[in-house]
Structure 1
Amino acid sequence: MSTALRPLLGALLCCLVATGAEAQSLLSARGLGMPFLPTDGRAVALGGVGVGLIGAELSVVDPAAPARLLVPSVAFSFQSSWADYDDNGSTGDFSGTRFPYIALGYPSSFGTVSLSLGGYLDQRWTSDQSKLIDLDGAGGTGRVTDNFRSDGGISTVRLGLARSLTPNVDVGIQVGRHIGDVSRVFTRTFDSLDVGGVVQPYQSGGRWSYRGWLASVGASADVGSILRIAGAWTWAGDLEALPDEDTLGGEAVFPLPSELRVGATAVLSPRLRASVGVHQSGWSSVDDALEGEGARDTFAWGGGLEWAGASVLGKSSRLRLGYRNTPLPFTWEGVDDPAESVFSGGLGMDLLVVQGVVLSRLDLALERGTRTGGTFEESFWRLATSVRLSGF
């Protein structure tokens, strides 16, 4: 199996670090971009916070989650989204696909070592505007089409260690690096009829690389067999934006926020569990560095139910329902309350179980959400697919 997995993992890694042309949200144009949710289909379906879930997981956001992993494992996820928007009467739609994370875990005598690559901020968006401008300074007007395009984003690569201190307490630590590249291009195209001939489009732009350090610590505890509680705290240093040699522009530094996640899962019956969690981010730290674009602290919350009494195609399965509410950190003039609200449902299937150990698992999550701010409203459907393979 390990030989067969190598090309698959290579392809997934390339897809994750590569950037696509499709937008995930028009709000990716605000501030440093649209925050990613680098969690698997199970966490997405249960409200998205991603900590405090029962069982061993390969997680980007919960350093202690891999502590009880029994066999070497790899997990990855991809998401497809379809959205439409209405901005004060101006409407449109778009779609896109992204790869939120890939993670590897290897149990050892001193704990589970993990390596992950996950999304952090998405900056993929495009905007077109057609308008009349003064062409000659003497009142002669002509139509031009302006295209603004941003392509790229910021990801995090993390190396972690998690282990069990007691049968009921797990701890974990991660150290990592923010990485990413973003290109921004402005193109103006002239109408040949208005200018009386062919005029080459005007283009300006550049490319920036992003770098910065981060570290996370986390812990979880089981209260008997009926409750798990967990928390994770992430510190982030300054994010440096470095222009390449062909870009006319200076360097920039953005002080990234610390983040706190707290979650819990209660066992309501042998087949029914309830999860809840909160996520606080101190994004106001970057407000001054954005030079006119506002940033604010955010407090998100979510939760869900998981029922383990289902069987799909003869496989043990779980059905999930969830909801989350997430204020968005980057604001704009006249709008100080942009937010995302999402209802979710999901299915988890144990595809291969050997001696009680799940060696192959599939998780699906379907989300229906809205993003609002002032007169702007964006509605979307999003399908997340996650796979975990173990024992190779």
Structure 2
Amino acid sequence: MERWWVAVLMAALPPAGGLSAQSALGAKGLGAPVGALGGRAAALGNLGIGLRGDEVSAGDPASWARLAVPSVVITMQPSWGSFDLGEQVGSSRATRFPLLGIGYPVQRARGVVTMSLSGFLEQRWAAERSGTVVIDGADVEVRDRFTANGGVSVVRLGWAQRLGRRLAIGANAGAYVGTLVETFDRELDSTDVGGAVHSFFDEDRWSYSGATLGAGVSYDMANVLLAAAAEWSLDLTQAPIGDSVAASTSYEIPARFSAGATGRLTRRMHLNASVVYRDWGTAAGFADGVASARTWSVGTGLEWLVFDGETRSLPLRFGYRRLAAPFRYREEDPVESIWSLGLGLNLAKRGPVRFGWMDIALERATRQSAPLSERFWRASVSVGLSSF
């Protein structure tokens, strides 16, 4: 769904216009993707699958099986940056909470009940445009302001199960949730025509709904951990809220296939790699030329355990990932490149089990989708508690 005034604005803002956004790609399709990763995965350039340890990941259903005690993790993600769009320049600053995860082991069944709330797609932007219109033969100065605020998240409930010492499987069912508020505000200088015209304001509200089903498997071969996962979705429905006369719209959400691995280089050093395949270019429901034809995202990173005490440890992390965003700005498929570093503060642990920890990541990223160019910094801070 793309309102006519959004399409006109984003096609060409005049010199007197201005745009601010968390990402200008948020004005296209269903919005900009939300990296629903914890601080550890973000620092390691990981795509949310195939990491060792008691990892809580919305995209890796089998990883939850390694939780030995009840655990809860929440991630905060501030970001700030700038972008160029032809002659326009803008800046962004925002804070989101992209991931909340809760795992509760059931010891008798050797399984874990899993619950998560994760971000998916987001539209948060505002734009202004000034100019003149002709009313009753007179030029009237106008100022238009466009805003969009909202997005789509996924709530998942699942089960992860150990099958022996090395093999684990997991599955979950989820629902798309979220809302979107779009506004158009036109201010006119009524003095130009003797007070015969008035300003105009329009607001539309939308809700999102749909369902997902995911499954995954992992196998630990002592020095190498392998993992794979898949997620399928029913159509995502965008429906008007209240007395809006707009019609509901449905969008096909393509299946997501992912794989990852972590290998032990030394006792204190591990290398990970991950890959995701998702083909938005064949999804139905989107306007021609909006969905990207790029299908592959890749990432890799290194974790070095600098200090490993009996009850505390301090790992350093470095990573890189290259992402395929689902929607293009105009004629060029978007590419996002991210360099990252971070550290973990394992404040209380017993062997491999963490009871209190903080994972911190700092990322430097660029997005390119001509004529749009974005540069931004992003921090991810995850806080976890276990045995509550």
TM-score past 0.5 threshold: yes
**CA-CA distance at 1:284 after TM superposition:** 2.2
Moved more, 199-208 or 107-116: 199-208
Percent identity of paired positions between Structure 1 and Structure 2: 39
**Secondary structure of residue in 1 paired with 2:172:** strand
**Secondary structure of residue in 1 paired with 2:132:** strand
Cα RMSD for the two superposed structures: 1.9
Could you report, residue by residue, the CA deviation over 1:232-285 in whole angstroms, capped at 9, with x for unpaired residues?
100011111111122120011111110011111110011111111111112124
- 1:232 matched to 2:229? The reply is yes
- 1:131 matched to 2:127? The reply is no
CA distance in 1, matches of 2:327, 2:55: 31
For 2:275, the equivalent position in structure 1 comes to 278
For residues 101-140 of structure 1, the aligned pairs below 5 Å read 101-108=99-106, 109-110=108-109, 111-136=111-136, 138=137, 140=138
Q: Is the 8 A contact 1:256 1:285 kept in 2?
A: no
For 1:39, the equivalent position in structure 2 comes to 37
Moved more, 193-202 or 377-386: 193-202
Equivalenced residue count is 365
Task: Name the amino acid aligned to 1:212.
Answer: G
**CA-CA distance at 1:195 after TM superposition:** 4.5
Correspondent of 1:363 among 346, 359, 365: 359
**CA-CA distance at 1:24 after TM superposition:** 2.2
CA distance in 2, matches of 1:47, 1:205: 39
Moved more, 65-74 or 183-192: 183-192
Could you report, residue by residue, the CA deviation over 1:71-95 in whole angstroms, capped at 9, with x for unpaired residues?
1110010100001111112112120
**CA-CA distance at 1:383 after TM superposition:** 0.8
CA distance in 1, matches of 2:65, 2:236: 30
Moved more, 145-154 or 124-133: 124-133
User: Cα distance 1:194–1:365, how it changes in 2: closer, same or farther (>3 A)?
Assistant: farther
- 1:317 matched to 2:327? The reply is no
CA distance in 1, matches of 2:279, 2:164: 33
CA distance in 1, matches of 2:329, 2:350: 53
For residues 323-334 of structure 1, the aligned pairs below 5 Å read 323-333=320-330
CA distance in 1, matches of 2:128, 2:120: 26
CA distance in 1, matches of 2:314, 2:37: 19
5+ residue gaps in structure 1?
1-21
Correspondent of 1:304 among 289, 301, 304: 301
5+ residue gaps in structure 2?
1-19
**CA-CA distance at 1:143 after TM superposition:** 1.9
CA distance in 1, matches of 2:236, 2:90: 33
**CA-CA distance at 1:160 after TM superposition:** 1.0
CA distance in 2, matches of 1:195, 1:386: 57
4+ residue segments displaced more than 6 Å = none
**CA-CA distance at 1:197 after TM superposition:** 4.6
Q: Is the 8 A contact 2:292 2:334 kept in 1?
A: no
Moved more, 71-80 or 184-193: 184-193
Q: Is the 8 A contact 2:348 2:354 kept in 1?
A: yes
Task: Name the amino acid aligned to 2:25.
Answer: L
**CA-CA distance at 1:375 after TM superposition:** 2.3
User: Cα distance 1:93–1:63, how it changes in 2: closer, same or farther (>3 A)?
Assistant: same
For 1:8, the equivalent position in structure 2 comes to none
CA distance in 2, matches of 1:214, 1:332: 27
For residues 285-300 of structure 1, the aligned pairs below 5 Å read 285-286=282-283, 288-297=284-293, 298-300=295-297
User: Cα distance 1:268–1:195, how it changes in 2: closer, same or farther (>3 A)?
Assistant: farther
Q: Is the 8 A contact 1:310 1:319 kept in 2?
A: no
Moved more, 172-181 or 88-97: 88-97
CA distance in 1, matches of 2:194, 2:49: 62
TM-score w.r.t. the length of structure 1 is 0.89
Task: Name the amino acid aligned to 1:127.
Answer: A
**CA-CA distance at 1:354 after TM superposition:** 4.2
Task: Name the amino acid aligned to 1:141.
Answer: D
Task: Name the amino acid aligned to 1:367.
Answer: E
For 2:16, the equivalent position in structure 1 comes to none
- 1:349 matched to 2:358? The reply is no
TM-score w.r.t. the length of structure 2 is 0.90
**Secondary structure of residue in 2 paired with 1:383:** strand
